Amino acid sequence: MTSSDSGRERILDAATRLFAALGYDGTSTRMIAEAAGLNVATVAYHVGGKRDLYLAVMEHANEVERTALDAALAEISPDAQGLLDLADAYVDFCVSHPEVPALWMHRWLSDASDVVHLEQMYVWPLMQSVTDAARKIVPDDVDVEYVVWTIVWATHGFSTGGVLDGDGHRRGLDDPQAVARFRRHMRRTVALAIGVPDRVAG
């Protein structure tokens, strides 16, 4: 790796962390430069302005998610268990890459509203791949798109906000018991939505 590549990687890592934590609108190029240990001019040289940084971060997030979903889709069985396994795989992905749901949650809350094409470029193709696979599994009377969206909405919400326990403490991705409980709930929710016995969900 050249020093130029290394500098670009440092910048994108810092930008990803900040955009995921604060959103596009809450992050400045100067903040990214400071987090990367560089000056603004060096950031501009390697990547460009703030919009360029954001587009590069979102492109990388999509590549990571696309790779994970393609692998999961290639392995699912053509039955209800396959769809439950796919829900599991998505939970696993968000646990491993919490920055991805955080980035999209900011967008869904009207962050970076002047960057309007990312959903069409990235979200819609992924949704199509998953819904096409799910349609081969679930009964015709099931609203497949909403089942898939339910998985996404719930998993992104849990990934970014977690849940409150009985003592009012927030439990999320860093709590294995909370993740296991969420996973069970997600499997049962999907099983109910597609009309399979609760025992299949485990």
Scanning the structure block, which residue is given the tokens 């403490």?
169
Alpha carbon distance 6, 180 (integer Å): 37
Q: Which residues contact 175 (CB under 8 A, 6 or more apart)?
A: 162
pLDDT by residue for the chain (202 residues), tens only, comes to: 455 568 899 999 999 999 999 999 999 999 999 999 999 999 999 999 999 999 999 999 999 999 999 999 999 999 999 999 999 999 999 999 999 999 999 999 999 999 999 999 999 999 999 999 999 999 899 999 999 999 999 999 999 999 999 999 999 999 999 999 999 999 999 999 998 875 556 6
Contacts of 5 (CB under 8 A, 6+ apart): none
Count CA within 13 A, CB hemisphere, residue 167.
2
DSSP 109: T
Q: What's the length of the chain?
A: 202
Q: How far apart are CA 16 and CA 192, in angstroms?
A: 36
- Give the pLDDT score at 31: 97
Is 101 in contact with 156 (CB distance < 8 Å)?
Answer: yes
User: What are the extents of the domains in the chain?
Assistant: 57-201
Residue carrying structure tokens 């597609």: 194
Could you tell me if 186 and 84 are in contact, meaning their C-beta atoms sit under 8 angstroms apart? no
What does the alpha-carbon distance between residue 20 and residue 22 come to, in Å, rounded to a whole number?
A: 6
Angle at 41 between CA 58 and CA 107, to 5 degrees: 20
